[in-house]
Amino acid sequence: MSDGFRGLRLTNTMTRAKEDVSPLDWRDAAISEANKRVRMYVCGPTVYDFAHIGNARPVIVFDVLFRLLRHLYGQDHVTYVRNITDVDDKINARAARDYPDLPLNEAIRKVTTKTAEQFHQDVAALGCLPPSAEPRATDYVTGRAGGHDMISMIGTLIDKGNAYEVDGEVLFDVTSMPDYGALSRRRLEDQQAGARVAVDSHKRNPGDFVLWKLSSKGEPGWDAPWGQAAWTASGRTGMPKGRPGWHIECSVMSAAHLGETFDIHGGGLDLIFPHHENEIAQSRCAHGTKSMAEIWMHNGYVQVEGRKMAKSEGNFVTIHDLLHTETFGGRKWPGAVLRLAMLMTHYREPIDFSVKRLEEAENALASWARVAAGVAPGHPSTKLIEALSDDLASAAVVAELHALRRSDPKALRASLDLLGLDLSAFEAVSDDTERAGNPLPDAVEAAIAQRLAFIRDKNWAEADRIRDTLLESGIQLKDGKDPRTGERTTTFEIRR
């Protein structure tokens, strides 16, 4: 690294400052070199519907950070955990709507399995590596060794005086934690002022949040040690059945996989309050620790016309639709294009999503592919690593990729690999392919065949679209006739 290299620095939402990263294991002489790990937790999806491209942003941003950490600390020295939330009232509602004839639990399983599979396909197409572990909330409700389950942690919080039970519902008492609100910088007094507790609520304070609630008939539920009297009074037999609140699952799964305190915790800006604030309250009070994670990172929003892309706003585009249908900009887009479109802007800034942005990303990728596709990768450049290490400085990263295009195709190739930017949709235009006269990759052959089919169907618009798309990546098509059969043929030329 050059003299100016300051090591990895990331902006910590807790302190609102850019800080040097100094992973906990490296500060602990008792942990052998071989066993040291950088430990990172990122809140994953609630699996009831297709993920939209706003949801894709944290997945891409933290995948780049995962790749950078692996580069800096070694492939086997990073543990990245991203959970799957598979218990949630939105899931129950979707299951009842989509599978009205199935028992609810079966319907829920269908919804969560299908959605999780779709999510995996979507993010793989965006070049994201699978995390080291991907725990599912429902596997951590009860009965885990070492007390790494939600019922045990909630019991601990009650025992320590941080939580209380009313009629089978367990709530966290925010006044039991003096520095509650430190992450979001909300003072308890401000939160209390003017807030009223609804008459039917069990809350002692307006800010108290649910750790556990009783399930009604038909809802998914687990045997719980709380609320026997309320359960029996409602005319039901056996042990009371309940289900966890949302925040507790991340406290439990992060501790199970990463320990009571770990290095980096991430997610979108909307998670700072209440989700992350409440994770911190639960984890620190249950474990008696000073911090849950050393560094809290939050990505900015993907916006449409200045508003957060969100399911509730109805202004969303799913990853699946963007990649596989023509609903956005009248065409499909390669996964690498969406990935670069996200990475062109610093992760903390908002992104206004548009066709123009995707086209810009595509043009950049095509220009890089022209020199780097098919080239054996060298090493990522020092400048690239330095730019990434400076809080993932996007502008400097993209500028360096453009510079490498002229100076060092092998370093460009390695840098793109490090960033997870896959050139296969653009391979056709590499110099190597041209020089060696290799056959075109399948994708281009397929595009040419598809275009001929459109021409046969007299669908000129689609045929022209394919011709234009190929031209943008440097492939010029030439139509002709086979002199023997009289059939239409297509040849091509690679342009610079």
Whether residue 311 is annotated as binding a ligand: the answer is: yes
Residues of span 310-329 touching ligand ATP by CB under 6 A = 310-312
Q: Which residues partner with 166 through β-bridges?
A: 169
Q: Tokens standing for 344?
A: 């062109």
Residues of span 233-272 touching ligand ATP by CB under 6 A = 267-268, 270-271
Among 308, 346, 357, 451, binds ligand ATP (CB under 6 A): 308
**Tally of residues, the chain:** 496
Sheet strands (E) in 306-395: 307-308, 351-352
Q: Tokens standing for 15?
A: 């302190």
Residue 23 as a binder of ligand ATP (CB under 6 A): the answer is: no
Q: What is the 3-state secondary structure (H, E, C) of 61-91?
A: HHHHHHHHHHHHHCHHHEEEEECEECCCHHH
CB count in 10 Å sphere of residue 375: 18
Site string for Zn ion, 236-255 (x = CB under 5 A): --------------x-----
Least distance in Å: CB of 270 to ligand ATP?
5
Residue 226 as a binder of ligand ATP (CB under 6 A): the answer is: no
In the complex with ligand ATP, the residue whose CB is nearer, 262 or 353, is 353
CB 340 within 8 Å of CB 421 = yes
Kindly report the backbone phi and psi dihedral angles of residue 453, in degrees, each rounded to the nearest multiple of 5, phi listed first. Answer: -65, -40
Q: Which does 310 bind (CB under 5 to 8 A by kind): Zn ion, ligand ATP, none?
A: ligand ATP
Least distance in Å: CB of 182 to Zn ion?
17
Q: Tokens standing for 81?
A: 């955990």
Among 23, 45, 155, 335, binds ligand ATP (CB under 6 A): 45
CB 376 within 8 Å of CB 410 = yes
Tell me the C-alpha distance between 290 and 280, whole Å. 10
Q: Which does 108 bind (CB under 5 to 8 A by kind): ligand ATP, Zn ion, none?
A: none
In the complex with ligand ATP, the residue whose CB is nearer, 257 or 308, is 308
Tell me the C-alpha distance between 47 and 52, whole Å. 12
In the complex with ligand ATP, the residue whose CB is nearer, 317 or 337, is 317
Residues of span 27-86 touching Zn ion by CB under 5 A = 43
Whether residue 313 is annotated as binding a ligand: the answer is: no
Q: What is the DSSP letter of 164?
A: E
In the complex with Zn ion, the residue whose CB is nearer, 248 or 371, is 248
Whether residue 285 is annotated as binding a ligand: the answer is: no
CB count in 10 Å sphere of residue 279: 27
Least distance in Å: CB of 92 to ligand ATP?
15
Residue 301 as a binder of ligand ATP (CB under 6 A): the answer is: yes
Residue 309 as a binder of ligand ATP (CB under 6 A): the answer is: yes
Q: Which does 57 bind (CB under 5 to 8 A by kind): ligand ATP, Zn ion, none?
A: ligand ATP
Q: Which does 250 bind (CB under 5 to 8 A by kind): ligand ATP, Zn ion, none?
A: Zn ion
In the complex with ligand ATP, the residue whose CB is nearer, 52 or 67, is 52
Whether residue 265 is annotated as binding a ligand: the answer is: no
Q: Which residues partner with 479 through β-bridges?
A: 490
Q: Which residues partner with 266 through β-bridges?
A: 42, 297
Tell me the C-alpha distance between 205 and 124, whole Å. 43
Measured from each CB, the residue nearest to ligand ATP is: 268
Tell me the C-alpha distance between 275 and 278, whole Å. 5
CA–CA distance from 367 to each of 172, 211, 285, 402, 403 (Å)? Answer: 54, 52, 53, 9, 12
Whether residue 279 is annotated as binding a ligand: the answer is: yes
Tell me the C-alpha distance between 73 and 177, whole Å. 36
| Nearest of 16, 13, 18 to residue 389 by alpha carbon | 18
In the complex with ligand ATP, the residue whose CB is nearer, 77 or 243, is 243
Q: How many residues bind Zn ion (CB under 5 A)?
A: 2
**Binding site residues, Zn ion, CB under 5 A:** 43, 250
Residues contributing to the annotated binding site for ATP: 311
**Binding site residues, ligand ATP, CB under 6 A:** 43, 45-46, 54-55, 57-58, 267-268, 270-271, 299, 301-302, 308-312
Residues contributing to the annotated binding site for Zn(2+): 43, 250, 275, 279
